[in-house]
Structure 1
Amino acid sequence: MKLRIASRKSALALVQTRWVAARIREVHPDVEVEEVHVVTQGDIILDKPLMNIGGKGLFVSEVEQCIVDGRADIAVHSMKDVPGELAEGLRMLCVPAREDAHDVLVTKEGVEIDDLPAGAKIGTSSLRRSSQLKAHRPDLAFATLRGNVPTRLGKLDEGQYDGIILAAAGILRLGLAEGRPHWTIPQEICIPAVGQGVLGIEGREDDARVQELLAHLEDPKTRTEVTAERAFLSKLEGSCKVPIAGHAQLRDGGRRLTMHAMVGSLDGTKILSGASDCYVNETGDALLGEARTLGIEIGEGLLAKGAGELVREAIAAVERSQKTGNGSGGGNFGKWS
């Protein structure tokens, strides 16, 4: 039996794809896995912020098309890159257990953010990260950083930046956390992106054979959390042009679902945050329904506080940047992860 997995060619994408393949073969040793490599526009165009060339969906759409065209059976995505709507006939067949959802500050010495000197140059491609970190340390200088994880670390080592912000999940999956000085940023300072640390395995919704192969990898806890987060993102109409974050956790043995979220201004001078929780007694689709309700309620709460205006202001500022050509080299515009 052959299983074709579409994947980008970046080191992290291949590690994630091969992790999924290995977990499948542990239970189904007769499965032959074929990797279908895809080079996306997001991988090719590295001199511009993602929101200037179509957003993070660029990393997903061309990989997804392999399934639509019949060239692949599944695709492995980082859920924080997945747009709100999937291609017709496809769905997220499996959501494995979440890796660490935190962001990390990587420096040569492993210092905390409060120990950085004023004016230190910090690399990040994320509006979400820069907005929240500017609110905490407005005296730091944030600059655009693109490229895969090893490339970004190389730029730090070359001295182009005093520190860079990465997802903990990425350096953990690549085996780069050991021996690399870094500081885990508390969620009180920087709420993670929607879906951060989570893999999503996409396939055809009517492919019962593939669903059976993936069944043992499904983690109901993680799917519940991501469902709440993505419902929130949808309610706010979040995109790569808006500093937005949402992180849910199913706690107390699966009996209580909590969520923290934020929408910020590009310069970090205004941060609107919200949090809520609910006790859950359901399972399956009913539990996912409760998760969606929680995410929507938090989104509505932030809209009532004025989040809609922040969203509109951020989109307008980014679109002005695109028209004037000022969004490719500065530190103010990146992606919403």
Structure 2
Amino acid sequence: MQSTLLRIGTRGSQLALAQAHETRDRLMAAHGLPEDAFEIVVVKTSGDQIQDRPLSEVGGKGLFTKEIEDMLLDGSLDLAVHSSKDMPTVLPAGLDITAFLPREDVRDAFISPKAKTLRDLPHGAVVGSSSLRRQAMVKRLRPDIDVVMYRGNVQTRLRKLDEGVVDATLLAHAGLKRLGLGDVVTSVIEADDFVPAVGQGAICLESRLDDEKTNGLLSAINDPETRVRLEAERAFLGVLDGTCRTPIGGLATVDGDTLTLKGVILKPDGSQMHEVEHSGSVQDAEAIGLAAGEELKSKAGPNFLTS
């Protein structure tokens, strides 16, 4: 007999654990449950183990979810907590994103001991980032800057910055805030200048489609606005490229009953960029995302994603 009510799967980084604890705490508050009704299970994913090369070379986003999803499917876990931006657009059969927690700040944070903003960095400065989107956007704004691949968890990247390995780095503002590290931020880059990654700042909860008990509990902590925004963003990404091999940004915002999605796609070297913006009813979130993705694909041309 299962000794705990819910087994929550997560990666083992401090940020992933903070997200798992937030999920547990919200479930405790929503249902009046004690802490010992939950077990947080740490799973080491392929993405955590590969540190010597860009993930885009070895499989992309699914590397942060596969082992956790395998445990969901075999019944070892009841739900999984993910950063939405790590989620592939196509999920394994039998699994679904059941709920989203309220979205945090979507913006990127600039961190540097040498300049207040990206534009203020000295000529030839070195910026570290593992994100193809951030790398391309940095190169577009500052072609003179050297951008290097920069893997590791948040604490590792900050330590490398302190050690002078790079002159600056960019991280998700949401993750820094969740870790209580907001004070390390030199400046925050507005989303109009740096369109965020699809799902940035949003925590999603994945479970088995046929697990009515778990899904019923999760429905109480689902944030409807975050869900509708992510429906549009994930549909948009799915049209273009469901992996992390292409620099893509997408952000949906909601104002009353209107949803607006802004999307961009760039060449990895930042030399070309195409933009799109679509608006419509929140009830048509997925359709808006699909239309924006198709328009951007048309603008970029057939060879943009492969060349």
In structure 2, C-alpha distance between the alignment counterparts of 1:238 and 1:92, rounded to whole Å: 16
Matching of residues 60-79 of structure 1 within 5 Å? 60-79=65-84
C-alpha deviation, 1:190, in angstroms: 1.1
CA contact (8 A) 1:263 1:307 kept: no
Letter paired with 1:197: G
Do the aligned partners of residues 62 and 307 (structure 1) sit closer, same or farther apart at CA in structure 2, a change above 3 Å counting?
A: farther
Do the aligned partners of residues 30 and 220 (structure 1) sit closer, same or farther apart at CA in structure 2, a change above 3 Å counting?
A: closer
CA contact (8 A) 1:67 1:75 kept: yes
- Which of residues 184, 190, 208 in structure 1 aligns to 2:212? 208
Matched length? 302
Matching of residues 148-167 of structure 1 within 5 Å? 148-167=153-172
CA contact (8 A) 2:248 2:264 kept: yes
C-alpha deviation, 1:66, in angstroms: 1.1
Matching of residues 41-52 of structure 1 within 5 Å? 41-52=46-57
Match of 1:309, SS state, is: coil
Q: Deviations over 1:281-309 (max 9, x none)?
A: xxxxxx2xx11111111112112212432
Match of 2:61, SS state, is: coil
In structure 2, C-alpha distance between the alignment counterparts of 1:138 and 1:110, rounded to whole Å: 17
Match of 1:304 in 2: 298
Do the aligned partners of residues 213 and 238 (structure 1) sit closer, same or farther apart at CA in structure 2, a change above 3 Å counting?
A: closer
In structure 1, C-alpha distance between the alignment counterparts of 2:249 and 2:121, rounded to whole Å: 24
Structure 2 gap ranges (5+): none
Match of 2:38 in 1: 33
CA contact (8 A) 1:168 1:184 kept: yes
Whether 1:233 and 2:247 are equivalent positions in the alignment is no
C-alpha deviation, 1:27, in angstroms: 2.3
Match of 1:23 in 2: 26
In structure 1, C-alpha distance between the alignment counterparts of 2:45 and 2:16, rounded to whole Å: 12
- Which of residues 275, 278, 296 in structure 2 aligns to 1:276? 278
Q: Runs in 1 of length 4+ with deviation above 4 angstroms? A: none
Sequence identity (%): 41
Do the aligned partners of residues 36 and 147 (structure 1) sit closer, same or farther apart at CA in structure 2, a change above 3 Å counting?
A: same
- Which of residues 275, 289, 294 in structure 2 aligns to 1:295? 289
Match of 1:194 in 2: 198
Letter paired with 1:99: E
CA contact (8 A) 1:132 1:271 kept: no
- Which of residues 252, 261, 277 in structure 2 aligns to 1:248? 252
TM-score, length of structure 1 as denominator length: 0.87
Structure 1 gap ranges (5+): 281-286, 314-337
Do the aligned partners of residues 201 and 133 (structure 1) sit closer, same or farther apart at CA in structure 2, a change above 3 Å counting?
A: same
In structure 2, C-alpha distance between the alignment counterparts of 1:153 and 1:99, rounded to whole Å: 21
In structure 1, C-alpha distance between the alignment counterparts of 2:67 and 2:130, rounded to whole Å: 21
Match of 1:122, SS state, is: strand
C-alpha deviation, 1:181, in angstroms: 3.6
Whether 1:267 and 2:269 are equivalent positions in the alignment is yes
In structure 2, C-alpha distance between the alignment counterparts of 1:109 and 1:5, rounded to whole Å: 41
Q: Deviations over 1:49-88 (max 9, x none)?
A: 1112211211111111111111110000011011111111
In structure 1, C-alpha distance between the alignment counterparts of 2:242 and 2:142, rounded to whole Å: 24
Whether 1:172 and 2:177 are equivalent positions in the alignment is yes
Match of 1:144 in 2: 149
In structure 1, C-alpha distance between the alignment counterparts of 2:93 and 2:23, rounded to whole Å: 24
Letter paired with 2:47: G
TM-score, length of structure 2 as denominator length: 0.95
Do the aligned partners of residues 97 and 110 (structure 1) sit closer, same or farther apart at CA in structure 2, a change above 3 Å counting?
A: farther
Match of 1:317 in 2: none
In structure 1, C-alpha distance between the alignment counterparts of 2:222 and 2:38, rounded to whole Å: 19
CA contact (8 A) 1:123 1:142 kept: yes
CA contact (8 A) 1:136 1:189 kept: no
Q: Deviations over 1:94-139 (max 9, x none)?
A: 1111111111111125611111111110000011111122111111
In structure 2, C-alpha distance between the alignment counterparts of 1:183 and 1:260, rounded to whole Å: 22
In structure 2, C-alpha distance between the alignment counterparts of 1:85 and 1:304, rounded to whole Å: 22
CA contact (8 A) 2:89 2:242 kept: no
In structure 2, C-alpha distance between the alignment counterparts of 1:110 and 1:34, rounded to whole Å: 43
Whether 1:183 and 2:187 are equivalent positions in the alignment is yes
Q: Deviations over 1:238-285 (max 9, x none)?
A: 42111111110011x2x11111111111110100111121245xxxxx
Aligned-residue CA RMSD (Å):
1.3
C-alpha deviation, 1:202, in angstroms: 0.5
Match of 2:10 in 1: 7
Match of 2:169, SS state, is: strand
